[in-house]
Amino acid sequence: MNATLIKLLVFSMAAGFVASWANDADEQKLKEALRAFGARQYDKALPLLEECQKQDPADAPMFFYYVGECHYLTNNIDMAGEWLSKASATPFNQEEAYWRLAQMAESQGQADEAQQYQQWLKNRADSLAKDRPGWTMQRIEELRKQKKFIAGQSSFGPEGYKTGYQFLWVGWYKEAIWNYEYALTHGVPLASRFSVPEAALMYKALAKAYNAQAASLKKDGAQAEKVEAAKRLAKHNEWRLFITETRIGTNWVERILGYGH
């Protein structure tokens, strides 16, 4: 698959990509907070994030990790532990929260606690790796039988991304999300989240998949709570993409392909 087609595939994911905060009265404040976090201006980001997370109780858990990380990176360790522990109990930046908590416990000589956090991360990675291979190949075989499989997969992106794209293309959103999560966990080190083009690729893919899943659930008459949960996870990944592009720039596709600056 040539570079031009790859770029078209990636940027086609932006079609209909509308930030979840687009018509929010607090849009600028939220963008300012996330931009400051992306720019590593944690002293500036912290009060903005704390203010934003009070606006909507339903969205508040999405801020826990960022508030905790700001506290950690401004040397307020006690508050960092409190917020990161809260974040670890949510589906938002959960891996990153556990990773930071493990670092904190280790630096404080709490070896048993650090091991527990590290074990959670290992279990998370193992569960994705253990369940994915046979399950994914079975679903791909179904696509081949239905003649919906896109032949000639490229090596573009972390392992799991290209398979996720196959599933997204045919409307199998749960399968797409699973493979994108696999690609993020196994293809982007936790220390590099928000700092590498591959992370931007996964966040854009996950946002697209969760938005599509939300639309599909709504069309099928699913409970409003399930639809809103999918929308919130899409928003969560839009935020992560915004932070990453603030940090690394918007030309990350060229960087993955090996050219550009």
pLDDT digits (tens, 9 = 90+) for 21-43: 444 567 889 999 999 999 999 99
- What does the pLDDT look like over 76-121, one tens digit per residue? 999 999 999 999 999 999 999 999 999 999 999 999 999 999 999 9
CA 243 – CA 254 distance, rounded (Å): 18
C-alpha separations of 87 from 10, 98, 175, 260 in Å:
30, 9, 25, 36
CATH number of the 3-257 domain = 1.25.40.10
- d(C-alpha 14, C-alpha 231), whole Å: 16
Q: How much is the average pLDDT of 61-89?
A: 97
Q: What is residue 161's predicted lDDT score, i.e. its pLDDT?
A: 85
The residues spanned by each domain of the chain are 3-257
**Which residues have a Cβ under 8 Å from the Cβ of 200 and sit 6 or more positions away?**
241, 244, 245, 248, 252
> pTM for the full model?
0.86
State residue 117's pLDDT score: 97
Q: What is the mean pLDDT of residues 203-224?
A: 95
How many residues does this entry show for the chain?
A: 261
**Cβ pair 161, 187 in contact under 8 A:** yes
Torsion of CA 61, 19, 210, 67, to 10 degrees: -20
User: Residues 56-61: what's their mean pLDDT?
Assistant: 91
- Confidence class for position 152, pLDDT limits 50, 70, 90: very low
* Confidence tier at 165 by pLDDT (50, 70, 90): confident
**Looking at residue 17, what is its pLDDT?**
38
